[in-house]
Amino acid sequence: MIRLMRPVVIAANWKMHTTPADAGELARAIAARTAEPDVTRVICPPFVCLAAVRDALAGVAPPVAVGAQNVHHELAGAFTGEVSAAMLRGLAEWVIVGHSERRRDAGETDELINRKIRQAKDALLHVILCVGERLDERADGQAEAVVRCQVAGCLAGIEAPSLADRDVVWGDAPWLAIAYEPVWAIGTGRNATGADAAAMADVIRDTLGDLGFAARGETIPVLYGGSVTSANIGEFLAEPAIDGALVGGASLKPDEMAGIVARAALTARARRAGNPTPDAAA
């Protein structure tokens, strides 16, 4: 079955916050405040909190998926302090790769991120690939070129799972989502505009088409990330090109997540009813 309607995804990136002692309680609080069956919810805590969050969310309905924030590009070996895709099986169903904080602090390149995606896909993890330009690149008029290059480099030579495999192995959730996160908007309180994000989502889809994904009936969600809050999520989800959000700072606050997911549910229900642009009333 080819799914033509893209799911609406809200992913929480907790970054280096929470401990194994408190992460489960926070996850449960967020799950309870965001129980919207039409929205795909993912919580990505630090590695050491994955088991606590998995246990806290076991049996929660509608289900909330658990994601990791990174994965190593090799399957096993002498890599002190690293975590492989195989190790994440049973702990996480999703993984974030290529976050700009890792590109900045760990020197991750598109080539390395490409290898991480291969490992994640082989381990049947759903991937959130982050892309986005820096402020100097935007000022130079290079934003589109940078994002095009990141998408092409990170996905070069990677094939989508077959449609049959997707139904059997990957279930309802997409195997890949792309988060457009302009670096200058992350953690700064200065979000992009909905129109800017939608324009970049078009660039990303165009690039995916060049890579052959569109030809395979792909419906890869494109998320926006960068200072998303319950107050501005409506601006992004009013854009038919935007399929959800990767949320950092606000994702640690159940009240904020409640507002964000409630607004996402409006879009998800409107899409189901055949109207991709509900009023951004929420």
The residues facing 180 across adjacent strands are 131, 224
By beta carbon distance, the residue nearest ligand PGA is 248
Stretch that binds ligand PGA, among 56-64, 204-212, 235-243, 248-256 (CB under 6 A): 248-256
Applying CB under 6 A, among 67, 234, 249, 278 the residue interacting with ligand PGA is 249
If binding is defined by CB under 6 A, does position 181 make contact with ligand PGA? Answer: yes
If binding is defined by CB under 6 A, does position 278 make contact with ligand PGA? Answer: no
If binding is defined by CB under 6 A, does position 225 make contact with ligand PGA? Answer: yes
| CA–CA separation, 137 and 77 (whole Å) | 37
If binding is defined by CB under 6 A, does position 247 make contact with ligand PGA? Answer: yes
| CA–CA separation, 130 and 153 (whole Å) | 12
Just list the catalytic residues: 99, 181
Residues 6 or more apart whose Cβ sits within 8 Å of residue 201: 180, 222, 224, 239, 241, 242
If binding is defined by CB under 6 A, does position 13 make contact with ligand PGA? Answer: yes
∠ Cα 180 261 102 (to 5°): 35
- CB closer to ligand PGA out of 105 and 172: 105
If binding is defined by CB under 6 A, does position 187 make contact with ligand PGA? Answer: yes
**Which one, of 124, 227, 141, lies nearest residue 184 by Cα?**
227
Q: Which residues bind ligand PGA (CB under 6 A)?
A: 13, 181, 186-187, 225-228, 246-250
